[in-house]
Amino acid sequence: MTDIEQRAIATVRGLAMDMPHAAKSGHQGTAMALAPVAHVLYGRVMRYDAADPNWADRDRLVLSCGHASVLLYAYLYLSGHGLELEDLRAFRQWDSATPGHPEAGHTAGVEVTTGPLGQGLGNAVGLAIAERYLRARFGAELFDHHTWVLASDGDLMEGISHEASSLAGHLGLGRLNMIYDDNKITIDGSTDLAFSDDTAKRFEAYGWHVEDLGEAGEDLDVIEAALLRAKAVQDRPSLILLRTHIGYPSPKTDDHTTHGYALLDADIAETKRRMGMPADEAFHVDAEVLGHYRELGRRGGAERTAWEARFAAGRTPELDACMYGTGLPGWEDQLPTWSAGEKVATRQALEAVLAAAAPLLPGLIGGGADLTGNTGTKLKGEALHSAANPGGRQIAFGVREHAMAAATVGMARHGGVLPFGGTFLVFSDYGRPSVRMAALSEAHALFVWSHDSIGVGEDGPTHQPVEHVAALRAIPGLKVFRPADANETTAAFREAVEGTGPSALILSRQAVPVLEGTDPDGVAQGAYVLSDTAHGEPDVVLVGTGSELQLCVAAAKLLAADGIGARVVSMPCWELFEDADPDYQDDVLPVDVPIVAVEAGITFGWERWADDVVGIDRFGASAPGDEVMARFGFTAEHVAERARELIVALS
């Protein structure tokens, strides 16, 4: 370790104490312990250019232990990614660029949003899949980078780490490299309280390359050599175990309290004295240290410039489509349509949509959690993605819903691909934390959930989702589509591809009729009038989603026989309708007309749009799907009766 490197690492440790102390909140000790390995990554090993944090061929660093965010912020500031010292002083404050946990899209240089432990590791698997696919498709001249992960004991205790690491080993993701910070400390105390895994053997069993560096947490040369060896392993992911000492070199080294905010004035001053820094100066950054780091941050500039020239020379319509997250010109015109009267499960409609879209959406990649054929997420004619076939676009995620969702987010955050993953709606609970992170980070990802209601039938209430659509609609920034038929499924897919942020497609197991008048432009508005009364204002509005829209159409005919004019409204996406012009909303759902909503799920939330709801506020039952639907009141006759009762009640 050179003198300037020693001072540089001391500077980072000082900032790691000062940021939480200024905020009176945060995590100090882990960042202090990891300062040397982060220095090796930013200063010796990683390929990046701080002048362009979005360079497509940069190495990615994922701080899976996001509570140590001050470590990342310190290096992003020092290396010149755009943070200033005042941003560090504003740690955890309103509207600052340095929130409590790293947020992708909010702070330049943050690759994925981390904090919920294990999520970063799952995202990193997706980053590595995306890099490998793009390298196979467009060549190593354009895509030739690595994914690095800093992970804690908490990351490896969370269940998602098992799924993600197993998937990475199975796929042989050789450019995925993880450093495990083995500091023996949790919030409650020693890791011995709850964690006695043999981590090395565990990852060897997954098929990873594993190297244990022991007590080398302060030895930059040993760390660098190990990281370079890991980088050279191309046929499998690598794990480096590194014993560190939380809070080093403070008086509270190896004290579990330093996991959080425990180093106050006296301890900070003493630690700075031990490191040869001014003891009474907060946020001290020596000019020579800053200059050293800024030089390191720019050392990838020549590589980036050369890459930009290669990229410009090698541009093709396919490459542009991948990089800009869209399709080849005219791709939408190739999407399938169906004739009114046909009966098609919307999950089957999606499979047809994917088959038509895949040749014209070169970035499209994904699959199902051992339910590929069941969920409509099979890419017909496409090979499996694997180490032997890195250009394969069909991913067999296995029964790993947690990892599938997190990897899908990681692929989206990497860029260059349009990722999707599918399972049954009732199992969306397994992936919900990742879906939430997708929304928070505005990841352009598609989540497919089929078998969307009690219409699943015989499998019974364990497999019949009732609360899940409402729970997903509650996530800010997630567009939830529940198309009523095959044509609405096509339109919803188009909106998901052309839009921003994450989208969810909620699809039926059972066949549903293709309805007369379903409108792609109406889907883009979130809701639209499917059919209306022949004359004058309607007496009642029937609003349906998914497989229940057909019941509204049939109920309107029953009401018409009684002289009651019913408008039928399809509402496939609440979120898009919420964003529509208020005048359009009032045109579709007149404020002075009784409104009945029909959806085979809980009624929670529908009070915003409807006066009455035909729903199900209990768990389902095991029986044939048609019988279950009928017994819970999902018939045209019952919908019509509820409409009559509402008209009387509000008259």
Amino acid at residue number 413: R
**Residue 324, token pair as written in the block:** 């800009």
Question: How does pLDDT run across 259-313, given as a tens digit for each residue?
Answer: 999 999 999 999 999 999 999 999 999 999 999 999 999 999 999 999 999 999 9
- How high is the pLDDT of residue 75? 98
- How high is the pLDDT of residue 536? 86
Q: Give the pLDDT mean for 502-512.
A: 98
- How high is the pLDDT of residue 430? 98
> What is the SS3 assignment for 300?
coil
> Is the pLDDT assigned to residue 389 strictly greater than 90?
yes
Element (H, E) at 223: helix 220-232
Question: How does pLDDT run across 446-478, given as a tens digit for each residue?
Answer: 999 999 999 999 999 999 999 999 999 999 999
Rounded Cα gap, residues 542 and 613, in angstroms: 10
- How high is the pLDDT of residue 456? 96
Give the pTM: 0.97
Average pLDDT, the chain: 97
Question: How does pLDDT run across 23-33, given as a tens digit for each residue?
Answer: 999 999 999 99
Residue 174: name the closest of 114, 85, 237, 227 by CA. Answer: 237
Confidence of residue 368 (pLDDT cuts 50, 70, 90): very high
Assess contact for 91 and 19: CB atoms under 8 A: yes
- How high is the pLDDT of residue 60? 98
Element (H, E) at 126: helix 119-138
Diameter of the chain measured on Cα atoms: 90
> Is the pLDDT assigned to residue 384 strictly greater than 90?
yes
> 44 to each of 228, 293, 538, how far by Cα in Å?
10, 11, 71
Residue written as token pair 């579709």: 588
Q: Is 208 left (phi over 0), alpha (psi -120 to 50) or beta?
A: beta
Active-site pick, 218, 401, 575, 599? 401
Assess contact for 566 and 556: CB atoms under 8 A: yes
- How high is the pLDDT of residue 574? 98
- How high is the pLDDT of residue 490? 98
Confidence of residue 387 (pLDDT cuts 50, 70, 90): very high
Element (H, E) at 630: helix 625-631
Confidence of residue 198 (pLDDT cuts 50, 70, 90): very high
Neighbouring C-beta atoms of residue 212, cutoff 10 Å: 15
442 labelled catalytic = no
- Going from the N-terminus, what domains does the chain have, and what CATH number goes with each? 3-298 (3.40.50.970), 331-513 (3.40.50.970), 520-650 (3.40.50.920)
Residue 382: name the closest of 410, 420, 427 by CA. Answer: 420
Question: How does pLDDT run across 524-580, given as a tens digit for each residue?
Answer: 999 999 999 988 899 999 999 999 999 999 999 999 999 999 999 999 999 999 999
DSSP 394: B
Confidence of residue 630 (pLDDT cuts 50, 70, 90): very high
Please, what is the Cα angle at 614 between 610 and 616, to 5 degrees?
120
Q: Give the pLDDT mean for 188-205.
A: 95
> Is the pLDDT assigned to residue 225 strictly greater than 90?
yes
Rounded Cα gap, residues 205 and 217, in angstroms: 25
Question: How does pLDDT run across 304-351, given as a tens digit for each residue?
Answer: 999 999 999 999 999 999 999 899 999 999 999 999 999 999 999 999
Neighbouring C-beta atoms of residue 253, cutoff 10 Å: 15
In the β-sheet with 612-614, what is the strand arrangement from edge to edge?
528-531, 566-570, 540-544, 595-598, 612-614
Question: How does pLDDT run across 85-96, given as a tens digit for each residue?
Answer: 999 999 999 999
Percent of the chain scored above 90 by pLDDT? Answer: 99
> Is the pLDDT assigned to residue 1 strictly greater than 90?
no
Amino acid at residue number 314: G
Q: Give the pLDDT mean for 210-221.
A: 97
- How high is the pLDDT of residue 647? 97
> 138 to each of 78, 133, 144, 305, 615, how far by Cα in Å?
34, 9, 10, 18, 50
**Residue 262, token pair as written in the block:** 């425990």
- How high is the pLDDT of residue 425? 98
Whether a cis peptide bond, with omega within 30° of 0, leads into 249 is yes
Q: Which segments within 231-315 are labelled E, that is strand?
A: 238-243
- How high is the pLDDT of residue 534? 85
Rounded Cα gap, residues 271 and 276, in angstroms: 9
**Residue 106, token pair as written in the block:** 């909010």
CA atoms in the 13 A half-sphere facing the CB of 325? 22
DSSP annotation string for 34-66: HHHHHHHIIIII----TT-TT-TTS-EEEESSG
- How high is the pLDDT of residue 535? 83
Is 232 exposed, middle or buried, given 0-12, 13-18 or 19+ CB atoms closer than 10 A? exposed
